[in-house]
Structure 1
Amino acid sequence: MKFTLAALLPLALALSASASGLSCKKNLKRNFLIGYNPDNKVERYEYGYNENWKFDGFLEIKNSTIHQQFEFYDCEAPSDDFHSSHGNVHYGQVRPTDEKDLCLSSEAVFVYKGKDKKESKIRVEPEGIVNNLLLKPCASEGEDLRHQWFKAREVEDCGVRLSLKGKKGDVEADGLVHNSHWTVSLEPFSSWDWREAFYLSEGQLDPKCALKNLK
């Protein structure tokens, strides 16, 4: 598999505007994006372009030459639709250290269909979307921000555990999934062993990190 790394991000992304309407500050240690599964396998990811599948997205790095680092920005909730940080639980955006106008963004969010909050009732929005984890211009409100609103908490011996929270009524997406076109997406975590816990970390993780959650 061949792909280019972040230096070849599309020009449209490189020229994106900052989310000037959102009050944010850097919080927690900058680090690498890591996926960690119950088999104690650590995966490292960078943003790039898959030449075979013609897709932008976060791709697994097969060697040790990972360069991209990311930082968590603690942001004030712009409205009552979003959770605010409290205690050791933080809400906001995840941004690459070298492209601070870009934010980690999920193509999809997840909601319960009806009042029955069971895993079988979880639905993706918008319907039919090809769900990828991408870098997009940082948003400051509304639906665009919903796809960039992350929850973060420092977990001892693990790093900073990340999950996509979206709006208050959305289902938290904290499991990293490998897609058929070699990119990854975030989905609600389950007992399926091929979903990885998602961290900002150096990669030296305790074996229990894959099973620790943010509840």
Structure 2
Amino acid sequence: MFVIPFLFLLLIASAASAHGSPVEQRSAVCKPVGEATKLVSHSVRDGSTGYFETVKKNQGLALVRANSTTEQFQFYECTPPSINYRKSDYRAKYGQLQSTKHKGKCVTAGNYWIQRTGCLGGDGTFEKFPSDDGTITLQPCAKQDTELMRRQWLAYATISFKESCNTKSVLQASYRGDTDLEALIGDSEKSHFSYIDGTNKHTHRPQGFMSNTFPKGC
């Protein structure tokens, strides 16, 4: 006689408890991977090599291409702050890239591209957010799932140009719903992340790799 009311009360209590429970907030735990190195800029077209460094720009710090630099960067592998971020596997490490010159500051993409699904389930279109010029800056390193972390989450992977010619590269990793941006491209005014393929106009512009010097013959 009392079974149904009792179960009903249990369901109400469970629902109230679930509704009142806050969503778990995780802080990313990070550790350095490999050694701190320079960011090398290499042009596939003419083989020229340069470097990336940070300069003061618009009351902040921006990443630009330079002929020489002493600045180094350290990649930190981090635990994902939420399920929206990729975690490390055998193909790549995921986390943030910090400047050794500016402690506590991480390389931060100027924007990202959200992939919109097409009307028939296809790839659809890509929308850039926010609609600025995409300049890469140094910002305080984020620890939780925030807009800032979304721009700082990078992949650290080995790129093979040919047999016995490997080097490390940093890519803008895909947040859930975003598209990967496969190269760090720069000039003396600014740098940005870009998608690279055989038809992209940026294919032969200088791209960024983590190395004190770019391997000869690559």
Report the TM-score when normalising by structure 2. Answer: 0.73
Matched, 1:137 2:140: yes
Q: Does 1:186 align with 2:188?
A: no
- Separation in 2 of the partners of 1:49 and 1:43? 19
The answer on whether the counterparts of 2:185 and 2:208 sit within 8 Å (CA) in structure 1 is: no
| 1:105-144 map, 5 Å | 105-115=108-118, 116-117=122-123, 121-126=125-130, 128-141=131-144, 142-144=146-148
TM-score, normalising length: structure 1 = 0.74
Which residue identity lines up with residue 207 of structure 2 in the other structure? A
Cα offset, 1:57, TM superposition? 1.5
Residue 106 of structure 2 is aligned to residue 100 of structure 1: no
- Paired-residue identity, %: 18
What secondary structure sits across from 1:147 in the alignment?
Answer: helix
My pick for the range that moved more, 157-166 or 100-109, is: 157-166
The alpha-carbon deviation at position 90 of structure 1 amounts to 0.4
Correspondence 1:32-181 to 2 at 5 A: 32-39=38-45, 40-49=47-56, 56-62=61-67, 64=68, 66-115=69-118, 116-117=122-123, 121-126=125-130, 128-141=131-144, 142-155=146-159, 157-178=165-186
Q: Distance in 2 between matches of 1:38 and 1:47?
A: 23
**Distance apart, 1:34 and its partner CA:** 1.5
Write the distance in 2 (CA, Å) between the matches of 1:90 and 1:144: 19
1:107 aligned counterpart, secondary structure: coil
Q: Residue 184 of structure 1: CA displacement?
A: 1.1
Unaligned residue ranges in structure 1 (runs of 5+)? 1-19, 209-215
Q: Separation in 1 of the partners of 2:171 and 2:73?
A: 14
Return the offset for 1:76: 0.3
Cα deviation 1:9-49 (Å, max 9, x = unaligned):
xxxxxxxxxxx932000002211111222122222111003
User: Larger C-alpha radius of gyration, 1 or 2?
Assistant: 2
CA distance in 1, matches of 2:184, 2:96: 17
Tell me, yes or no, if the aligned pair for 2:99 and 2:106 is still in contact at 8 Å: yes
Q: Is the 8 A contact 2:95 2:155 kept in 1?
A: yes
After superposition, give the CA deviation of every residue in 1:74-100 in whole Å (9 maximum; x if it has no partner): 000111100000114100000012333
Report the residue type matching 2:35 in the other structure.
Answer: K
C-alpha separation in 2, matches of 1:178 and 1:24? 27
CA RMSD of aligned residues (A): 2.5
Q: Is the 8 A contact 2:53 2:66 kept in 1?
A: yes
8 A Cα contact 2:180 2:195, kept in partner = yes
Whole-Å separation in 2 of the counterparts to 1:60 and 1:198: 9
Q: Where does structure 2 lack aligned partners over 5 or more consecutive residues?
A: 1-25
Once the 2 structures are TM-superposed, how far is the Cα of residue 54 of structure 1 from its aligned partner? 8.2
The amino acid that maps onto 1:164 is Q
